[in-house]
Amino acid sequence: MTRRKLKDWVIPTLGIFVLVGSLFCYYLLSNLINDNLVPDDSYVTDALIDNTINVNEEVKDEVKIESPYKGENVSISKYYYDKNDDEAKQQQSLIKYQNIYMPNTGILYSSDNEFEITSVLDGKITQIKEDDILGNIIEIEHENNIVTIYQSVKDVKVKIGDEVTKGTVIATSGSNKLEQEKTNCLHFEVYKDGTLTDPEDFLSNNTN
């Protein structure tokens, strides 16, 4: 018996048909699956949608502190140094001391006039001390594991163990050796759960 030899183009052609058929089947199957997976939110009521809350916003609103001072024409000289900020703002958040630049660990407020320093929340005075560089320092412990620190103040009006309420005047603006050109200033720090935090995350009013 004589065997017939398949032409050279037959096998490649069959392969192409098989490949095209496979792709077509895959396309049909994909469309069918996607149609079945399209979510139907018609059962979700408007009330549920309207009441959805951003978790981050809820956390920020959990605790709000008031301004740490009373007075007019008080401005922010140095902001809190955040490693995630852009380079320009980071440079503006550096403090210079003896030709050494350091990241600012709080907010530095300053004014041409003397202003009053106030407790930002109800709390207890836990520490009062004097530092050669930062000047007088007052520490207050509050609820929710918050600690606030008021540096570079003078005329301290409280003592360790005193219970204070929000808005209580605890001192007046002073000076430090970090920013010697500022004669009336306050360096304000906030700790939450033992971690240094940007005070602006808690401030409930604009202190600029």
- What pLDDT shows up at residue 65? 87
Per-residue tens of pLDDT for the chain, all 208 residues:
445 554 555 455 555 555 555 555 555 544 443 444 333 333 222 332 233 333 334 434 567 888 999 998 999 988 888 887 777 777 777 877 777 888 889 999 999 999 999 999 999 999 999 998 889 999 999 999 999 999 999 999 999 999 999 999 999 999 888 766 667 999 999 999 999 999 998 886 544 4
What letter represents residue 169's amino acid? V
30/34 Cα distance (integer angstroms): 6
- What pLDDT shows up at residue 46? 33
Q: Please report whether residue 147 resides in a domain.
A: yes
- What pLDDT shows up at residue 193? 93
61/204 Cα distance (integer angstroms): 9
- What pLDDT shows up at residue 93? 75
Q: How many Å separate Cα 173 from the centre of its chain?
A: 26
Q: Please report whether residue 138 resides in a domain.
A: yes
- What pLDDT shows up at residue 47? 30
- What pLDDT shows up at residue 83? 80
Q: Please report whether residue 31 resides in a domain.
A: no
Q: Please report whether residue 15 resides in a domain.
A: no
Q: Please report whether residue 161 resides in a domain.
A: yes
Q: Please report whether residue 27 resides in a domain.
A: no
- Total structural domains within the chain: 1
- What pLDDT shows up at residue 7? 52
Q: Please report whether residue 58 resides in a domain.
A: no
Find the CATH number of the domain harbouring 90: 2.70.70.10
Structure tokens at 154: 């003078």
Q: Write out the residue range of the structural domain in which residue 120 sits.
A: 65-201
∠ CA 101-102-103, nearest 5°, is 130
* Location of structure tokens 């004097």: 130
Structure tokens at 131: 């530092």
Q: How much is the pTM?
A: 0.68
Q: Please report whether residue 144 resides in a domain.
A: yes
Q: Which candidate, 79, 129, 75, places its Cα nearest to that of 103?
A: 79
